[in-house]
Chain A
């Protein structure tokens, strides 16, 4: 029997993996440094939670989470079309702050800081996924599907267009590609999968509140994308395991508990800096960040 603790960690790996590969579409393949990605995660989580608690079936809530997030992805893509590099990063970061503020203050919809408790575990085709193991299977299936889909998208001709935008947008435009449209679609797809991840998160953790969806929560995901290597699905997979599982052995070593937390942060930060410095392509990456 696999331990419940380990199943829990694997479930987290699954959720983070979907979140990370969805971010890869933006950063790795399209070259858009989207620091607001956590907002799509949040939107997916809240959409799914609210729908299920209002009587909608899980599968519908899951899809809606992706779709609603996708709509926001589209909405975000419009104003940032002309932005690049750090400006794009700051604008998308700003977007996530705005979403956070709305989640916190629109109490009629979201219950604000009190959050949404009692989110039920998924119920699907008559099966109730309430046990840890069954949830793990569900996550595994959904994660595989998402991985497969994103892989197909990025290997398709459309994916090549995205990569051309990342490498040299001007050249791509010159060759007649509608880069604005491509960037919009890229952000939409990225948001869709982040929304799916958000829904899974909400139904697993069973309680969500705005504090789970700030910029700070994006940092591990960003680390995964960079350390795994830009535009590398395999790299992202391995990096997710590393980032999610790496801090866990620290629990067992016996540092004084008040030091473990900041130590964990320091290790993340150092790891990130070292990878950026000495292996900026990440583990498997084909490109460096422009």
Chain B
């Protein structure tokens, strides 16, 4: 007797859930253009995802966009299945025509074919995969492609006549795409004497450092799996008394690195855009109590660029696409942004370094 009641209750529960999903959909506000945002708000890169979300919100309020545009956030936790679910929900239920994100490489690669099918304009502030350049007509990035960063570093290597370099790049899409860029562009003057990388949750690098030390490189190209890893690695380098020149990617410029590594981070050299708009940096710092890193500012720019196009084109996807493709010298947070033929953003880069706990331009 009891069992059949339980059964009935369950069936009702399931039907309720199903009804919930198909009918209980928030009322569609027809006037505002909807932009979906897919970010890792939980999981491994949650700290970056939340910071980027804050930057997007900041741009939203700076540009007073609430009268034209509505932002709808979904979490993908850098997981392929969750990213696809978030995408489907945004496109099908919320009927967005535009998406900012995803941040993670694997999420971007996952929704790529669906994007193409639905012709959804997407700007990602973060996805690093080299294969995303010119992946399709609808995918754009405000993130400077890795090859531009590694190009700058290689200029440095050639100038300083560095013959031996070790490459330590995380075993994820982020690290590997940097590694591939560097390896493809490296000339014959510099030789890679050691190559390996960290795993996502690794916290002990002492033996890796020992292996690197044994090969005696003059410089180490370091791309960590997460913000905290870079700091720990550099700290352990110092503790083990090994002091090669450390070259990093643009993610090097973060407060977290200084917090974790302290003075061990002195002297790291990395490419960065020369921020034109220091007001935004200040504003972000005041509101959220930390300095925004470049990836975060990319989020700010992603919204700004998209909003600019939407203001003129409203929901017309083709119009927005053309506008984005033709974007030249837009005043972004990181300098003048131009979108190249691959849908990537081109920004002028300089070399910076860390001195006395400050991030300053690098001078010989």
Contacts and interface: CB of A to CB of B under 8 A. Distances in A.
**Are chains A and B touching in the complex at the 8 Å CB cutoff?**
yes
Contact of B42 (A114, A208, A249, A261): A261
Nearest to B14: A241
Contacts of B21: 5-6, 9, 245, 248-249
B109 A257 contact: no
A117 interface: yes
Nearest to A209: B106
Contact of A105 (B84, B106, B110, B171): B171
Given A6-B22, A205-B81, A205-B84, A211 B110 contact: no
B10 interface: yes
A4 B88 contact: yes
A105 B79 CA distance: 20
Given A257-B41, A260-B75, A115 B93 contact: no
A251 interface: yes
B25 A252 contact: yes
B106 A5 contact: no
A246 B17 contact: yes
Contacts of B25: 252
B173 A212 contact: no
**Helix, strand, loop or mixed for chain B's interface?**
helix
> Interface size class for chain A?
35 or more
A248 B131 CA distance: 31
Contacts of A207: 80, 106, 109-110, 112
Contact of B171 (A5, A113, A241): A113
Nearest to A245: B17
Interface in A1-49: 2-6, 8-9, 12
B89 A251 contact: yes
Interface in A106-145: 112-115, 117-118
Interface residues of B, number: 51
Contacts of B96: none
Contacts of A241: 14, 17
Given A8-B88, A207-B106, A261-B41, A249 B175 contact: no
B55 to A, nearest CB: 14
Interface in B64-86: 73-75, 77-81, 84-85
Interface in A190-223: 201, 205-209, 211-212
Nearest to A248: B21
A238 interface: yes
A146 interface: no
Interface string B100-136: 0000011001101100000000000000010100000
A4 B25 CA distance: 14
Nearest to A4: B92
B92 A258 contact: no
Given A114-B129, A245-B21, A212 B79 contact: yes
Given A4-B92, A261-B41, A206 B110 contact: yes
B77 A261 contact: yes
A251 B84 CA distance: 14
A104 interface: yes
Contacts of A3: 22, 92-93
A258 to B, nearest CB: 5
A252 B20 CA distance: 10
A235 to B, nearest CB: 9
Interface in B1-52: 6, 10, 13-14, 17-18, 20-22, 24-26, 39, 41-43, 46, 50
Contact of B84 (A6, A8, A208, A258): A8
Most buried by A among B21, B131, B170: B21
A218 to B, nearest CB: 13
B172 A211 contact: yes
B91 interface: yes
A238 B10 contact: yes
A244 to B, nearest CB: 10
27 contacts: A8-B84, A104-B199, A112-B171, A113-B172, A113-B173, A114-B105, A114-B176, A117-B109, A117-B112, A201-B81, A205-B81, A205-B84, A206-B112, A207-B112, A209-B173, A238-B10, A241-B17, A245-B21, A249-B17, A249-B20, A251-B89, A258-B46, A258-B75, A261-B41, A261-B43, A261-B46, A261-B77
Interface of A: 2-6, 8-9, 12, 104-105, 112-115, 117-118, 201, 205-209, 211-212, 238, 241-242, 245-246, 248-249, 251-252, 257-258, 260-262, 264-265, 283
The 6 closest A-B pairs by CB, nearest first: A261-B42, A5-B92, A4-B92, A8-B88, A207-B109, A207-B110
